[in-house]
Amino acid sequence: GYVNEMINYINSLSPAFCSLTVKPTSYDEKSGKITIEVSGTRTGDFSKIYQNGAVTLYLTEDKVVGPQDCPYAMYEDYVHNHVLRHVATADFGDEITWNGLRFTKSFTIDTGEDWNVENMKAIAFVSKKVDENSTLDNIDVTNTADVSLSDMASAIATIHTDDANAKSEFYTLDGIRISDSNLGRGIFIQKK
C-alpha cells in the first residue's frame, strides 16, 4: 500500500509531459520487415521544457545464446537478455514533428537473419533533443513505453481462400475419406 502511495505522490510532483504508445502494426515473415508505430500526446507545458522533443526507438532481444567471458570462466552457451539489435532513429532520437498536441511516427525495420522476433521488444522514449552541446545535466526523458513483438511473429494477419463456397470433403481421424452422407456420430476432419 505504501509503495502505491509513494508512486502516486512522485507522479504528482513529476508528471510525464507526453503520453507514449508503441504498437507493432505489421510483420512480413518472408521479407523480415516489421512496422512499428510510435505515438503520443504532449501537455501544454511540454515545449517549455523539451522544445520539440525527440523520439527514440530501440529493438532488443532476449534469449540470445553466445559466449560470455566471466572473471573465472568462459561460457560458450551463455543466455544474454536485453541485447540491443537495432536503433531505428538517430542514436539520441529524431526530432518530433507535432500535429497540434499529437505525433505519430512509423518505422519499418528489416529484421536480421539471426534475430528471433518472438523474443524481441520495441522500446521507445520521448526526451529532449540531444545535440553536440548537450550534457548529462540537460538530457531529460519524460516517458517510455515498450511492447513485446512475440504476438506479431506468431500472428496470422488474414486467411485467404481460393473458393469460400467449395464443397467439403470429410475424413476419419486415420485419414480415410468418407462421404458426407455417412458421417453419423463421431469426430471427423473437414477439408474445404
Per-residue pLDDT in tens (0 to 9) along the chain, 192 residues: 777 777 676 666 666 889 999 999 998 888 889 999 999 999 888 888 888 899 999 999 999 998 998 888 888 888 999 999 999 999 889 999 999 999 999 999 998 888 999 999 999 999 988 877 777 777 788 889 999 998 775 554 444 455 656 677 777 777 777 777 767 777 877 877
Amino acid at 89: T
Cell representation of residue 35: 512496422
Q: What is the pLDDT of residue 35?
A: 94
DSSP string, 41-54: EB-TTHHHHHTT-E
Residue 159 confidence (pLDDT): 47
The Cα-based distances of 82 to 59, 120, 121 in angstroms read 9, 9, 9
- Res 163: pLDDT: 60
Q: Helix and strand tally (H, E) in the chain?
A: 3, 13
Sign of CA dihedral 142, 148, 153, 156: negative
Place of cell 522500446: 123
Number of C-beta neighbours around residue 46 at 10 A:
21
Helix, strand, coil distribution of the chain in percent, nearest 5: 15, 45, 40
- The reported pLDDT for the residue numbered 12 is 64
d(CA 118, CA 150): 4
What does the pLDDT read at residue 131? 76
State pTM to two decimals. Answer: 0.70
pLDDT of res. 158: 45
Q: What SS3 state is found at 135?
A: coil
